[in-house]
């Protein structure tokens, strides 16, 4: 296990602290607010394609993955506001990490956000998002040229 | 409230002349629980219905007192449980008004029942170029088994269209019963739109051309009285867990003369007459199609579920649900942002809808916060979603234990969704 530098996890910690102060109903509205704010951030329309799609049934999720100086950066989009909020929390929390650091992120980190039932749905769940992000980073490690071409 | 509360006993069973939803609700222990601090409003019975105490008790009693394996046991427990297990076949036969209980095959669910027909009747009697007619509102369970058969032997899949109300186009259906069509396999009630399909007419038109018909009754048996002899259906399939029974048990009714001609589905114990390394002979139907230890406890549970709904009366359940459907339709259509799919004149209490400008997942998540359990997505009917021109819908599927008060809770939650996401 390697320790991840605290400054790299600042956004994650901010979410954890903010959510900790809220009751369940307020958390629900907090996620919607994040989703609405994310809605105002442009996401390239040509990236809402099958190549960036994370397969699920209830709503669609697209993830863009980029590497800068060995750090993985993610941006996400969804057609549902709540899912957009959840994606935004995940990409915001775990961007800027190296592959090794990203591999250290576990279910416990997701649980740490304390989002209850909203986090655990299989098809749009945050664990599925985390696994997808980890898979993208690992794939990039194996063949960085292919990935850059695909993106 | 639209319920008629008269002459009720404490359990809601054997209620003469009336239907008291409050008493019915007491029979379903789960309905007293809360979700997110709110009373559970269970509008997902189309996916799987809740279980009455009678079903839970029957299954528990078997497991605690009478459990063993069935068939060919020399001991007391096996003989008595075999009798009880086999008596459920009779219960199912009476429920469907099937002529004999030998025409009732126990399966795992509807999906397995349709796969069984495709794999046995299909392989035996269909060949390359033969047509199988389905409709535009099938569950994937009545699409994919035929596609597998298509890929294997080259049958042609023909799709009968629906109109914008979700009503099957009977003229187009009749046109599909042309020279190469050899089987019809159509839902008796749409799991998305609630459309009740005119099963008797479907069968009559097909039989005029000598074509056998399978009706998928997964939803229909829950919402209406089904009589396979009146329908004259050749195959009728349904699943236990939507009919207030347990999971992992389903039913295939097949006319005796058809079942007799069909080869086995799976090989194993229970389905054989004699086995040598050189040659194995098979049991007569229905046992020929029931390889391996059957779902014993689940069968007892399904028997209890059928006894339960029969004691209440399918006609009374249907009347209660019709009143709920009318009320929910009125409330939903009064909301300017709600688009309701499916307005067939004959419709079960299944309501699929979207709120304009709000993703169905966001709507359903807001319903969930209010304790309302509804389904969201494509409901295992992707081709139908494409026909409706949507990625998915929210589906509220109502049951005998639901109330107009619960519909009001859903409407209030939809108004909240409008303010949160609008």
> What CATH number is associated with residue A21?
3.90.1010.10
Q: Which of B207, B150, B156, B216 is nearest to B185 (CA)?
A: B216
CB contact under 8 A, B378 and A83: no
**pLDDT over 70 (residue A148):** no
Contact A35, A85 (CB under 8 A): yes
Residue A59 has its nearest CB partner, among B359, B368, B421, at: B359
Give B34 or A125, the one with higher predicted confidence. Answer: B34
Higher per-residue pLDDT: B378 or B112: B112
Rounded Cα distance, B217 and B212, in Å: 16
Minimum distance, in Å, between the CA of residue B102 and any CA atom of chain A: 40
Contacts of A79 in chain B (CB under 8 A): 359, 391
Q: Considering only the top CATH level, what class is B56-310? A: alpha beta
Specify whether A47 is catalytic.
no
- CA nearest to B196, candidates B165, B175, B239: B165
Q: What is the pLDDT of residues B243-287, one digit of tens each?
A: 999 999 999 999 999 999 999 999 998 899 999 999 999 999 999
From the list A80, A78, A72, A76, the residue with the least C-alpha distance to A104 is: A72
Chain B touched by A33 (CB under 8 Å): no
Q: Determine the length of chain B.
A: 422
User: Cβ B421–A29 below 8 Å, yes or no?
Assistant: no
Q: What is d(CA B353, CA B43) in angstroms, rounded to the nearest whole number?
A: 13
Judge: A80–B378 Cβ closer than 8 Å, yes or no.
no
Task: Provide the whole-model pTM.
Answer: 0.92
Question: What is the distance in angstroms between the Cα of A77 and the nearest Cα belonging to chain B?
Answer: 13
Distance from the A135 Cα atom to the nearest Cα atom in chain B, whole angstroms: 26
> A118-125 contacts: CB < 8 A, separation 24 or more?
A118/A27, A118/A28, A118/A31, A118/A82, A118/A86, A118/B365, A119/A86, A121/A58, A123/A56, A123/A57, A123/A58, A124/A56, A124/A58, A124/A59, A124/A61, A124/A78, A124/A80, A124/A83, A124/A86, A124/B361
Looking at chain B, which residues constitute the CATH 3.90.1150.10 domain(s)? 21-32+313-421
Calpha distance A116→A111 (Å, rounded): 8
A91 domain-assigned: yes
Fold (CATH) for B21-32+313-421: 3.90.1150
B148, B118 Cβ separation under 8 angstroms: yes
Provide the residue range defining the domain that includes A32: 6-144
**Residues near B345 by beta carbon (within 8 Å), at least 6 away in sequence:** B167
pLDDT tens profile A83-122: 899 999 999 999 999 999 999 998 888 888 877 666 555 5
Asked whether residue A14 is assigned to any structural domain, the reply reads yes
Of B214, B201, B298, residue with least CA distance to B252: B214
Q: How far is CA A143 from the centre of its chain?
A: 22
Selection from B324, B345, B303 nearest residue B398 by Cα: B324
- Total domain count for chain A? 1
As a whole number of angstroms, the distance between CA A9 and CA B292 comes to 55
CB spacing of A80 vs B361 below 8 angstroms: yes
**Mean pLDDT, to the nearest integer, of A70-87?**
92
Arithmetic mean of pLDDT, A14-37:
92
Distance CA B163, CA B389 (A): 13
pLDDT digits (tens, 9 = 90+) for B77-135: 999 999 999 999 999 999 999 999 999 999 999 999 999 999 999 999 999 999 999 99
Q: Is residue A1 part of a domain?
A: no
Computed over every residue of chain A, the mean pLDDT equals 84
Q: Which long-range contacts (CB under 8 A, 24 or more apart) does A95-100 make?
A: A95/A11, A95/A71, A96/A8, A96/A71, A96/A72, A97/A4, A97/A8, A97/A71, A97/A72, A98/A70, A98/A71, A98/A72, A99/A72, A99/A137, A99/A138, A99/A140, A99/A141, A100/A2
Position B136 pLDDT exceeds 60: yes
For residue A141, the model assigns a pLDDT of: 78
Tell me, yes or no, if B359 comes closer than 8 A to chain A by beta carbon.
yes
The H or E element spanning position B386 is helix B382-388
Cα B27 to Cα B12: distance, rounded to the nearest angstrom? 8
User: Given an 8 Å threshold on Cβ–Cβ distance, is A25 in contact with B369?
Assistant: yes
- ipTM comes to 0.88
């Amino acid at each position: 296990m390697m320790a991840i530098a605290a400054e790299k996890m600042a956004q994650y910690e901010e979410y954890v602290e903010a959510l900790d102060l809220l009751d369940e109903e307020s958390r629900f509205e907090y996620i919607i607010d994040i989703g609405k704010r994310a809605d105002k951030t442009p996401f390239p329309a040509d990236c809402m394609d099958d190549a960036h799609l994370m397969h699920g049934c209830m709503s669609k999720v697209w993830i863009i993955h980029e590497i800068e100086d060995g750090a993985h950066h993610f941006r996400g989009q969804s057609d549902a506001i709540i899912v957009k909020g959840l994606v935004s929390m995940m990409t915001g929390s775990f961007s800027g990490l190296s592959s090794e650091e990203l591999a250290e992120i576990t279910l416990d980190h997701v649980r740490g956000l304390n989002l209850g039932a909203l986090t655990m749905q299989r098809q749009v769940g945050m664990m599925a998002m985390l696994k997808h992000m980890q898979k993208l980073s690992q794939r990039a490690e194996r063949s960085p040229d292919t990935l850059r071409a695909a993106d | 409230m639209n319920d008629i509360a008269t002459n009720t006993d404490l359990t809601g069973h054997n209620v003469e002349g009336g239907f008291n939803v409050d008493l019915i609700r007491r029979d379903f222990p789960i309905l007293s629980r809360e979700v997110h601090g709110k009373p559970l409003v269970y509008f997902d019975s189309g996916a799987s219905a809740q279980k009455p105490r009678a079903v839970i008790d029957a299954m528990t009693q078997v497991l605690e007192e009478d459990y063993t394996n069935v068939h060919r046991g020399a001991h007391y427990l096996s003989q008595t449980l075999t009798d009880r297990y086999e008596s459920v076949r009779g219960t199912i036969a009476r429920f469907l008004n099937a002529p004999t209980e030998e025409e009732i095959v126990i399966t795992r669910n509807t999906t397995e029942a349709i796969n069984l027909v495709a794999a046995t009747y299909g392989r035996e009697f269909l060949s390359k170029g033969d047509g199988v007619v389905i409709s535009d509102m099938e569950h994937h369970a009545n699409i994919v088994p035929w596609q597998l058969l298509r890929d294997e032997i080259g049958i042609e899949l023909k799709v009968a269209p629906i109109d914008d109300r979700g009503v099957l186009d009977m003229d187009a259906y009749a046109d599909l019963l042309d020279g190469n069509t050899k089987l019809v396999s159509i839902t008796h009630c749409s799991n998305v739109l609630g459309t009740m399909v005119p099963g008797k007419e479907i069968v009559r038109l097909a039989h005029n051309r000598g074509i056998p018909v399978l009706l998928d009754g997964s939803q229909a048996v829950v919402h209406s009285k089904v009589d396979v002899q009146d329908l004259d259906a050749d195959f009728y399939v349904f699943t236990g867990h939507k009919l207030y029974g347990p999971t992992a048990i389903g039913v295939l009714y097949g006319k005796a003369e058809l079942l007799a001609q069909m080869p086995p589905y799976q090989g194993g114990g229970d389905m054989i007459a004699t086995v040598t390394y050189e040659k194995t002979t098979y049991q007569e139907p229905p046992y020929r199609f029931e390889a391996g230890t059957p779902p014993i406890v689940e069968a007892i549970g399904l028997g209890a579920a059928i006894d339960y709904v029969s004691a209440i009366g399918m006609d009374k359940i249907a009347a209660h649900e019709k009143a709920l459907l009318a009320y929910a339709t009125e409330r939903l259509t009064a909301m300017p942002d709600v688009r309701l799919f499916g307005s067939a004149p004959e419709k079960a209490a299944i309501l699929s809808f979207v709120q304009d400008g709000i993703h169905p997942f966001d709507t359903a998540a807001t319903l969930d916060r209010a304790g309302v359990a509804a389904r969201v997505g494509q409901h295992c009917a992707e081709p139908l979603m494409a026909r409706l021109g949507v990625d998915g819908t929210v589906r509220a599927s109502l049951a005998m234990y639901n109330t107009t008060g619960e519909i009001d809770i859903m409407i209030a939650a939809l108004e909240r969704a409008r303010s949160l996401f609008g």
